[in-house]
């Protein structure tokens, strides 16, 4: 009914069943696999600053069958950082999605094989290159240089044809170096009517 105190080594050839809380202090427990059916609590509060410092240290990998809840930041620091060039490579690989509540900063390029959907504004400070078709589904009419579905603070360069389905207003001079075709066939009855009015 009392306790057991031993100043030397203890070897147990069979199982060791502990009904209470085991306290190893600063000692090292070695041997075969250890199976815990209850909760493992580590009261040491050493912050992790590397792969060899922290409250819990593993020389090998860590396999977890359920959720992980972290109250602090997570940092992956490899000796040689793995560059991601697919969904199965990189320092962090997940089979599911990724949900981020706050801002995300990516120091390298971001490659997306599927669609990108933004629920708010999209701000791009660098040069954007699109290899596919860019479609703007907003239908805002343009009444000035600051209104419309597509607004550019600078000029617009188009290598091939441009088709405008409604009116085109030009506030400055228009310079045409090629042939101009007017498909309208309105008959002029005065100086303010006809296919071309000057």
Q: What pLDDT does 30 receive?
A: 64
pLDDT tens by residue, the chain, 198 residues: 777 887 777 787 877 777 777 666 666 666 667 777 778 888 888 888 888 888 888 888 888 889 888 888 888 888 888 999 999 999 999 999 999 899 888 888 888 888 888 888 888 888 888 888 888 889 999 999 999 999 998 999 999 998 988 888 888 888 888 888 888 788 888 888 888 877
At a CB cut-off of 8 Å and minimum separation 6, what does 150 contact? 136
Enumerate residues 6+ apart whose C-beta is below 8 A from 195: 182, 184, 185, 186, 188
> Measured between alpha carbons, how far is 139 from 149 in angstroms, rounded to an integer?
6
pLDDT at 28: 63
What pLDDT was estimated at residue 24?
67
Structure tokens given for 87: 């969904």
Tokens 């600063």: give the residue: 26
Residue 145: predicted pLDDT: 92
Query: What is the pLDDT, as a whole number, of residue 50?
Result: 84
- The three-class DSSP label of residue 9 is coil
The overall pTM is greater than 0.75: no
The predicted pLDDT at position 9 comes to 79
How far is the C-alpha of 151 from the C-alpha of 141, rounded, in Å? 11
Residue 143 pLDDT = 92
Residues with Cβ within 8 Å of 45's Cβ and at least 6 positions away in sequence, in order, are 55
């Amino acid at each position: 009914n009392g306790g057991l105190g031993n100043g030397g080594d203890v070897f147990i050839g069979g199982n060791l069943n502990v009904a209470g809380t085991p306290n190893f202090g600063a000692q090292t427990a070695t041997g075969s696999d250890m199976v815990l059916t209850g909760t493992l609590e580590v009261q040491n509060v050493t912050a992790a600053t590397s792969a060899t410092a922290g409250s819990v240290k593993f020389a090998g990998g860590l396999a977890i069958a359920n959720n992980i809840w972290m109250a602090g930041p997570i940092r992956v620091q490899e000796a040689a950082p793995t560059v991601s060039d697919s969904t199965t490579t990189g320092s962090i690989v997940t089979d599911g999605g990724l949900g981020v509540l706050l801002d995300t900063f990516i120091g390298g390029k971001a490659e997306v094989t599927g669609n990108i959907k933004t629920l708010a504004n999209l701000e791009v400070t660098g040069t954007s290159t699109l290899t596919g078709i860019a479609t703007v589904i907003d239908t805002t009419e343009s009444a000035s240089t600051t209104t419309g579905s597509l607004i550019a603070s600078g000029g617009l360069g188009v290598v091939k044809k441009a088709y405008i389905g409604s009116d085109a207003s030009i506030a400055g001079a228009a310079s045409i170096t090629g042939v101009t075709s007017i498909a309208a066939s309105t008959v002029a009855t005065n100086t303010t009517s006809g296919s071309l009015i000057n």
